Amino acid sequence: MQAEFGAPSLVFNNAGVGGAGGLVWEATQKDWEWVLGVNVLGVVHGVRLFTPMMLAAAQDDPSFEGHIVNTASMAGMLSPPNMGVYNVSKHAVVTLSETLYQDLSLVTEQVHAHVLCPYFVPTGISQSQRNRPAELANESAQLTKSQLIAQAMSDKAVGSGKVSAAQVAAMVFDALRENRFYIFSHPHALGPVKTRLEDVLAVRNPTDAFEGRPEVAAQLRAALRTA
């Protein structure tokens, strides 16, 4: 491929699945292997394959400019409850991307890293189980109460998204033109990120994820605390 087309100038590491929701201790080893295998290692493989190609092209051509965009999620900036496996995978993509940015800055000014953190975008991600490999399927297809709730909440949230994938793509290209590292599809959703960072800096316990919607927190707790 490289011999025929040369090094890519734009790389989008976009693989992602959204399954395995529910209370974090209820996720199986296969849940973890599936989600981390796609969401984390999918990006890792892209970084390992394409970064050396782009660096070699930059060394050969002073006019070459490359961009690597890793798709994470707002879940990579937050830690909402009942979706721990997904959160872990997307936090990993954020820190991988931040490290890639720092590493690239040590060796070149021609290849740049970015991380995309979408909020709720109407895609098929809430139905990711349809693409789960048979060898990573759980022995039992029965879901726990928390997993059923997580699936219902994911379906509703993703389905209610008002920003399309095409609009997000346009935002990405705007960010590349500005060489902006963090790319957010919904800047208005950054309030909880600010709160989380303030929690860290103040060394205080994490703020309730549903602080602004106490009725949702009450419903969720009631559902999970009943036998």
Amino acid at 157: A
Q: Of the listed 86, 101, 119, 182, which one is catalytic?
A: 86
With CA atoms as reference, report the closest residue to 172 among 102, 62, 68, 60: 68
In angstroms and rounded to an integer, the radius of gyration of the C-alpha atoms of the chain is 19
Residue 86 among the catalytic residues:
yes
The DSSP annotation for the chain comes to -HHHH---SEEEE--------B-GGG--HHHHHHHHHHHTHHHHHHHHHHHHHHHHHHHH-TT--EEEEEE--GGGT---TTBHHHHHHHHHHHHHHHHHHHHHHHH-SSEEEEEEE--S--SSGGGGGGG--GGG--S--PPPHHHHHHHHHHHHHHHT--S-HHHHHHHHHHHHHHT-SEEES-GGGGHHHHHHHHHHHTT-PPPPTTTT-HHHHHHHHHHHH--
Residues marked as catalytic: 86
